[in-house]
């Protein structure tokens, strides 16, 4: 009879014939892996502070001896929603969708924010593992180690609107960013614009790269040039959009229309246009992306690509809860369609704009 081990991590050791033998404890796994008992306990509970190679070695032994991690009955009936930084209405739309599904399933919602500079990220994983939520919906981008720690503790997770490439098999919910970028640009082309500028987010952000690729596809299909002078990179903020728009509009051969990577950048374009004495849409057409509530409130109301953020959050939460219940899901990657919402910020280029462009 073996003594009790931390976290009751006891598996059955198979004998040479494959039949179950005497119990295998954390001590046995630690001795076989050449590590300490606390290290094995950390791996079993998904905690940080274990080198990736060591973690992989211990995980292999745990799997070999058939250790079964805690069942869903030990969870806390919570959904955890994780943000890098919660700003503006974009995050509010996501929260609204998560809470809708949580209410229907009678589970609570824990909101975690890493904050400026991701200052709280080093403590987050241990706190989450201690809470043991039913699932995690991550708007923040998790590291491979954090994903491994959640898997080790049996906590399913879904990445919301991923900003970077994900390994195969990582569940995610996103939107058709490439198609959205193409539809925004096609709209401006159909209005008669030929010099169409784009303000894009930083290249490391996956959705921004997809929106830029959609813009380029539409321009190339219309046999319109996409020179470096028509594309500016900026942060996804009002100020980022304003500064980038001033660079685009300060050129002699300025664009007659600008497609911004999100609605906040588009509002920055409005500020730049007014700073330069340009009228929207008479002198400059503007298209945004997201369709946040502010898009309908600015003057003139903003034409923008509608990204169904609340519906995406609903889909992410439903997927995460289904994974938490151990259900087989038809797909671990879901993309919801974007649509163009036409308002008053776009029009055919005016005579003065055409002669300038």
**Could you tell me which residue, 352 or 199, shows the higher pLDDT?**
199
CATH number of 33's domain:
1.10.260.40
**Could you tell me which residue, 62 or 101, shows the higher pLDDT?**
101
Q: Once rounded to an integer, what is the mean pLDDT over residues 110-139? A: 80
Residue range 182-226, pLDDT digits in tens = 999 999 999 999 999 999 998 778 899 999 999 999 999 999 989
Q: Once rounded to an integer, what is the mean pLDDT over residues 296-322? A: 95
Give residue for tokens 């998560």: 98
pLDDT at site 259: 98
Q: Are residues 208 and 347 in the same domain?
A: yes
- Classify each residue of 198-231 as buried b or exposed e, where b means 16 or more C-beta atoms within 10 Å of its C-beta: bbbbeeebbbbbbbbebbbbbbeeeebebeebbb
Q: Are residues 205 and 348 in the same domain?
A: yes
Q: How far apart are CA 157 and CA 103, in angstroms?
A: 19
**Full residue range of the structural domain in which residue 191 is found:** 177-308+340-356
Q: How far apart are the first and last CA of the chain?
A: 85
Where residue 122 falls among pLDDT bands split at 50, 70, 90?
Answer: low
- Is residue 323 a part of any domain in this protein? yes
Where residue 112 falls among pLDDT bands split at 50, 70, 90?
Answer: confident
- DSSP element (H, E) containing 213: helix 206-221
pTM for the predicted model, two decimal places = 0.75
Residue range 165-178, pLDDT digits in tens = 888 889 999 999 99
3-state helix, strand, coil in the chain (%, to 5): 45, 15, 40
Q: Are residues 229 and 265 in the same domain?
A: yes
Q: How far apart are CA 81 and CA 173, in angstroms?
A: 14
Overall domain count for the chain: 3
Where residue 104 falls among pLDDT bands split at 50, 70, 90?
Answer: very high
CB 248 within 8 A of CB 156: no
Where residue 18 falls among pLDDT bands split at 50, 70, 90?
Answer: very low
């Amino acid at each position: 009879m073996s003594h009790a081990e931390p976290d009751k991590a006891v598996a059955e050791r198979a004998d040479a014939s494959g039949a179950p033998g005497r119990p295998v404890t954390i001590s046995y796994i630690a001795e076989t892996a050449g590590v300490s008992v606390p290290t094995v306990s950390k791996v079993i509970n998904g905690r940080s502070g274990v080198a990736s190679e060591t973690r992989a070695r211990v995980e292999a032994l745990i799997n070999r001896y058939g250790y079964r991690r805690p069942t869903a009955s030990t969870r806390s009936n919570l959904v955890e929603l994780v943000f890098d930084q919660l700003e503006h209405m974009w995050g509010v739309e996501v929260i609204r969708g998560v809470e809708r599904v949580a209410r229907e399933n009678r589970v609570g919602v824990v909101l975690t924010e890493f904050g400026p500079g991701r200052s709280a990220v080093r403590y987050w994983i241990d706190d989450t593992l201690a809470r043991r939520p039913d699932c995690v919906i991550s708007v923040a981008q998790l590291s491979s180690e954090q994903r491994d720690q959640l898997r080790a503790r049996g906590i399913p997770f879904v990445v919301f609107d991923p900003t970077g490439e994900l390994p195969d098999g990582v569940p995610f919910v996103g939107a058709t960013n490439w198609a959205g970028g193409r539809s925004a640009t096609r709209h401006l082309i159909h209005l008669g614009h030929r010099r169409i500028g784009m303000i894009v987010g930083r290249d490391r952000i996956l959705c921004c790269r997809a929106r830029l690729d959609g813009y380029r596809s539409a321009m190339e299909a219309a046999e319109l040039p996409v020179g470096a002078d028509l594309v500016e990179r900026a942060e996804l903020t009002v100020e980022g959009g304003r500064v980038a728009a001033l660079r685009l509009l300060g050129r002699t051969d300025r664009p007659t229309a600008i497609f911004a990577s999100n609605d906040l950048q588009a509002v920055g374009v409005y500020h730049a246009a007014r700073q330069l004495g340009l009228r929207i849409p008479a002198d400059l057409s503007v298209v945004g992306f997201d369709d946040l509530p502010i898009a309908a409130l600015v003057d003139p109301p903003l034409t923008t690509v509608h990204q169904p953020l609340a519906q995406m959050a609903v889909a992410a939460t439903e997927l995460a809860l289904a994974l938490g219940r151990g259900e087989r899901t038809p797909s671990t990657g879901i993309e919801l369609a974007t649509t163009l919402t036409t308002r008053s910020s776009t029009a055919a280029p005016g005579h003065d704009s055409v002669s300038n462009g």
